[in-house]
Amino acid sequence: MKYSLLTFLLATISLTFTSEAGLSRTTSDRIFARLNQNTDAVLDVGEFARMMGEKFPSLTGFSLRTYREFFRVDADQISGISQEDFFRWNRGDTRELAGETIERFIRADRNHDKVLDARELPWAYKQKLSKRKVAAEIKRLDLDDDGKLSLKEFFQFLPMECKTFLGMKKNDADLLTSALGISTFVWREDDIAYPYDPVFGEPQPLFFFGLNGGVITNCSMRLTIQQ
C-alpha cells in the first residue's frame, strides 16, 4: 500500500503535536484505516512504523523512536493501537514513558555522582521545575534527608509492571531494577531465563522481556513460588 504525501504530512503533524486542536476525528480515522492493512481494528508495530517512515525492520527491529511512539499511543500497551488510542494521540493526549524519564534523570546528573541535587533536579522533569517546586519534590521524595535524590528515591513510586518497561533501554532497566533492589526479574536472552537472587519460599513475580536493538519491546509476567 502506498501512502500519499497528504497522509505523510498529516502523520508528521501528529508526531510533532504542533496544533493544540490536533486532527479531526474524521481525518484521524481515515489515516488509521489506511495504516490498518489487515483490517483487524488495531495497528501493530509494523503498520505504525510505516507511518513513522520505516517500511521494514532492521536486524535489530525498528528504531527506538518508533517503539517509543508506538508504546506511547497504545493506551493499554497490550493489544496494539486502537482507533480511539490513535485519535487521542492525534489530539495531543500523550504521556511520558518511564524509559524517557530515566534517560532525563541520567542526563540531569551532570557531575555523575548518581544523585540529583537542587541544581540538577529541575532538568529531570519534562517541564523544568521552579525553585519552590524543586524544594517540595526533595521534601516529598528524600528518604534519607540528605537534600538529594538518588535513583531509588526518585523512582520509588514507579509501578513495577510490564508496561513500565516497554520502550526502555535494557541498560537503563538494569540500572533501575538494581537501584530499587528488585531481585526477582528474569531476562529472556536466547530463550534462556535466569533470575536475580530469588527469595526461597516466597512468591516470585517473574518478568520475561523480549529485546530489539537493546530496547524492551515485549514483556510477559507470571507468578511462581520457589520450592
Given a cut of 60, whether residue 184 has pLDDT beyond it is no
| Residue whose grid cell is 536472552 | 189
Of the CA atoms within 13 Å of residue 75, those in its CB half-sphere come to: 10
| 188 phi and psi angles, rounded to 5 deg | -105, 115
Q: What is the dihedral of CA 100, 74, 163, 120, to 10 degrees?
A: 20
- What is the pLDDT, as a whole number, of residue 135? 97
Q: What percent of the chain has pLDDT above 70?
A: 78
Q: Which residue has the higher pLDDT, 100 or 207?
A: 100
SS3 helix, strand, coil % of the chain, rounded to 5? 40, 20, 40
Of 3.30.420.40, 1.10.238.10, 1.10.3720.10, 2.60.40.1120, which CATH number belongs to 98-154? 1.10.238.10
Task: Kindly state the helix (H) or strand (E) to which residue 137 belongs, with its residue range.
Answer: helix 131-141
Give me 174's grid cell.
538494569
Name the residue with cell 538518588.
150
Helix boundaries (H) for 17-52: 25-35, 45-51
Helices (H) and strands (E) in the chain, counts: 10, 8
| Intervals of CATH 1.10.238.10 along the chain | 98-154
- CATH code at 5-90: 1.10.238
197: helix, strand or coil: coil
Nearest to 189 by CA among 205, 173, 212, 206: 212
**16 pLDDT tier (thresholds 50, 70, 90):** very low
Closest CA to 92 of 163, 172, 23: 23
Q: In the structure, what pLDDT confidence band is assigned to residue 124 with cuts at 50, 70 and 90?
A: very high
- Say what the pLDDT of residue 127 is: 87
Residue 53 has what pLDDT? 92
Residue 45 has pLDDT above 60, yes or no: yes
Question: CA–CA separation, 196 vs 206, rounded Å?
Answer: 10
Is the torsion defined by CA of 193, 198, 202, 204 positive or negative?
negative
pTM, full prediction: 0.81
Decide which of 191 and 151 is more confident: 151
